[in-house]
């Protein structure tokens, strides 16, 4: 069993599927149908040389977005996430352990895509444009400090041996990339296409689909070891039911 499957099997025992405590900042009610995943797929479109990621929910995909808190510390993040069996090198990072995941996210309190102007207002760094659904490659690791059992892997900024994609947001010392792929929401579906060369032409990986609430910890003076910089706090739904990554690219 590879690292991703071992880690997911381990955290499954501690992940809570209850939304009773979920996302007051996001105005998400219990059993919010916008985050109950009913199906998901990744399709290799050979004609166009791309991988087409798609999640279908009971409600309206992407309709519910977080309510801003006005600062980075405690900033809410909502996500539709595809954990995969891809490697860190496939998405442009140097080799490291962890679960490579594609996260489709919305967060109104900060901008982590300085190369892209999602709201088309001419300002590439305004925090409010983070509410527009946009993608991140992340590397997840087991983390018992948060109820969801996972966080985005962090690194020492002084370690010059760590390779990051050129599209990674500066100043955020996490294994997180901002690749700028187009996200489309339509009714109960959220979709995104990734050119195959952007994943090292890997088209035979396994995946799962998760909807979750995440949160930033960035208090003044540094977050130390108390909480992860970006942790998973609540899991709304897991398509497989057990985080086993059973689905294959079509």
Task: Give per-residue pLDDT as tens, 217-236.
Answer: 988 756 556 899 999 999 99
What pLDDT band is residue 140 in, cutting at 50, 70 and 90?
very high
Confidence at residue 17, expressed as pLDDT on a 0 to 100 scale: 38
Domain boundaries, position 85:
3-66+73-248
Distance (Å, whole) CA 117 – CA 154: 26
Return mean pLDDT, the chain.
86
Q: What is the value of pTM for the model shown?
A: 0.87
Q: Which residues contact 39 (CB under 8 A, 6 or more apart)?
A: 55, 56, 239
As for how many domains the chain has, the answer is 1
Q: Is 10 left (phi over 0), alpha (psi -120 to 50) or beta?
A: alpha
R_g of the chain, CA atoms, integer Å: 17
What residues are paired with 54 via a beta bridge?
Answer: 41, 191
Residue 216: name the closest of 170, 172, 164 by CA: 172
Confidence at residue 109, expressed as pLDDT on a 0 to 100 scale: 85
Kind of pairing between the strands at 210-216 and 230-238: antiparallel
What pLDDT band is residue 150 in, cutting at 50, 70 and 90?
very high
Q: Beta-strand (E) ranges in 98-203?
A: 99-106, 134-142, 150-152, 176-177, 183-186, 189-195
Distance (Å, whole) CA 31 – CA 11: 22
In the 8-state DSSP scheme, what is residue 154?
B
**Mean of pLDDT values over 121-149:** 84
Residue pair 61/189 in contact (Cβ under 8 Å)? The answer is yes
What residues are paired with 154 via a beta bridge?
Answer: 174
What are the CA-CA distances from residue 85 to residues 98, 117, 218, 220 (Å)?
Answer: 10, 30, 29, 36
Residue pair 149/11 in contact (Cβ under 8 Å)? The answer is yes
Indicate whether 141 pLDDT > 90: yes
């Amino acid at each position: 069993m590879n690292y991703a499957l071992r880690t997911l099997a381990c955290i499954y025992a501690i992940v809570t599927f209850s939304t009773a405590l979920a996302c007051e900042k996001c105005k998400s009610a219990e059993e919010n149908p916008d985050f109950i995943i009913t199906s998901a797929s990744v399709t290799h479109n050979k004609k166009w040389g791309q991988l087409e990621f798609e999640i279908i929910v009971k409600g309206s995909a992407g309709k519910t977005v977080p309510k801003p808190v006005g600062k980075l510390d405690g900033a809410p993040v909502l996500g539709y996430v595809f954990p995969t069996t891809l490697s860190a090198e496939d998405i442009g990072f140097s080799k490291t352990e962890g679960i490579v995941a594609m996260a489709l996210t919305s967060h109104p309190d900060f901008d982590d895509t300085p190369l892209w102007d999602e709201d088309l207002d001419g300002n590439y760094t305004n925090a409010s444009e983070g509410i527009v659904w946009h993608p991140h490659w992340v590397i997840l690791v087991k983390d018992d400090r948060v109820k969801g059992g996972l966080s985005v892997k962090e690194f020492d900024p002084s370690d010059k041996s760590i390779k990051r994609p050129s599209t990674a947001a500066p100043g955020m010392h996490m294994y997180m990339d901002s690749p700028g792929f187009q996200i489309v929401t339509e009714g109960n579906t959220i979709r995104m296409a990734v050119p195959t060369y952007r994943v090292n032409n890997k088209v035979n990986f396994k995946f799962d689909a998760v909807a979750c609430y995440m949160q930033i910890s960035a208090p003044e003076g540094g977050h130390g070891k108390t909480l992860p910089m970006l942790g998973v706090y609540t899991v709304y739904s897991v398509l497989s039911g057990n985080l086993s990554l059973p689905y294959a690219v079509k």
